[in-house]
Amino acid sequence: MKSQTIGIIGGGQLGRMLAMAASRLNFRTIILEPQPDCPAAQLANSQIVAAYDDREALQSLAEACAVVTYEFENVPVEAARFLEKLVPVYPPPQALEVAQDRLTEKQYLNSCGIPTADFRAIGSQEDLETALEEFEGEGVLKTCRLGYDGKGQAVFRKGDAADGAFARLGGVPLILESFVPFVREISIIAGRGLDGRIECYDPAENVHRSGILHTSTVPANISGDVAARAGDSAIRLLTALDYVGVLGIEFFVTTDDRLIANEIAPRVHNSGHWTEAACVISQFEQHIRAVGGLPLGSPNRHSDCLMQNLIGDDILALESWALEDDVLIHLYGKTEPRPGRKMGHITRLTGRR
- DSSP one-letter string for 199-239: EEPPPEEEEEETTEEEEEEES-S--HHHHHHHHHHHHHHHH
Helices (H), the chain: 13-24, 55-64, 77-84, 93-100, 102-111, 125-134, 165-168, 224-240, 275-278, 283-291, 318-323
Near ligand AMP by CB under 6 A: residue from 33, 73, 101, 177: 177
Q: Residue 139 Cβ, how far from ligand AMP at the closest point, in Å?
A: 7
62 vs 180, beta carbon nearer ligand AMP: 180
Number of Cβ atoms within 10 Å of the Cβ of 45:
16
Pairing verdict, β 182-192 and 119-122: unpaired
CA dihedral 211, 216, 219, 224 (to 10 degrees): 30
Which stretch in 33-41, 66-74, 178-186, 328-336 sits in contact with ligand AMP by CB under 6 A? 178-186
- Which one among 140, 175, 230, 238 touches ligand AMP, defined by CB under 6 A? 140
CB of 14 to ligand AMP, least distance (A): 17
Shortest separation between residue 264's beta carbon and ligand AMP, angstroms: 11
185 touches ligand AMP by CB under 6 A: yes
CA–CA distances in Å: residue 253 to residues 44, 260, 288: 38, 6, 30
Interface positions, 227-266, toward ligand AMP (CB under 6 A): 262-263
Could you say which residues in the range 291-350 bind ligand AMP, by CB under 6 A?
Answer: none
Query: Of the ranges 9-17, 129-137, 175-183, 187-195, which one interacts with ligand AMP (CB under 6 A)?
Result: 175-183
Could you tell me which stretch among 6-14, 44-52, 129-137, 172-180 binds ligand AMP (CB under 6 A)?
172-180
Shortest separation between residue 248's beta carbon and ligand AMP, angstroms: 11
Q: Restricting to residues 146-165, name those near ligand AMP by CB under 6 A.
A: 147, 150
Residue 247 Cβ, how far from ligand AMP at the closest point, in Å? Answer: 15
Burial 298-316 (b: 16+ CB within 10 A, else e): ebebebbbbbbbbbbebbe
**Does position 33 bind ligand AMP by CB under 6 A?**
no
The amino acid sitting at 305 is C
* Residue closer to ligand AMP, measured from CB, 199 or 263: 263
| Shortest reach from residue 5's CB to ligand AMP, in Å | 34
DSSP-assigned beta bridge partners for residue 143: 174
CB 152 to ligand AMP: min, Å: 8
What is the closest distance, in whole angstroms, from the C-beta atom of residue 97 to ligand AMP in the complex? 18
The smaller minimum CB distance to ligand AMP, of residues 102 and 301, is found at: 102
DSSP annotation of 89: B
Between CA 12 and CA 7 the distance in angstroms is 14
What is the C-alpha separation between 9 and 90, in angstroms, rounded? 11
- Residue 234 bridge partners (DSSP): none
Q: In the complex with ligand AMP, which residue's Cβ is closer, 249 or 279?
A: 249
Rounded Cα distance, 76 and 93, in Å: 9
Give dist(CA 101, CA 117) in Å, integer. Answer: 15
Closest approach of Cβ 144 to ligand AMP, in Å?
A: 12
The values of phi and psi at residue 59, to 5°, are -60, -45
**Of all residues in the chain, what percent are helix, strand and coil, respectively (each to 5)?**
30, 30, 40
Q: Is 208 in the site for ligand AMP (CB under 6 A)?
A: yes
Chain residues that interact with ligand AMP, rule: CB under 6 A: 117, 140, 147, 150, 177, 179-180, 185, 208, 211, 262-263
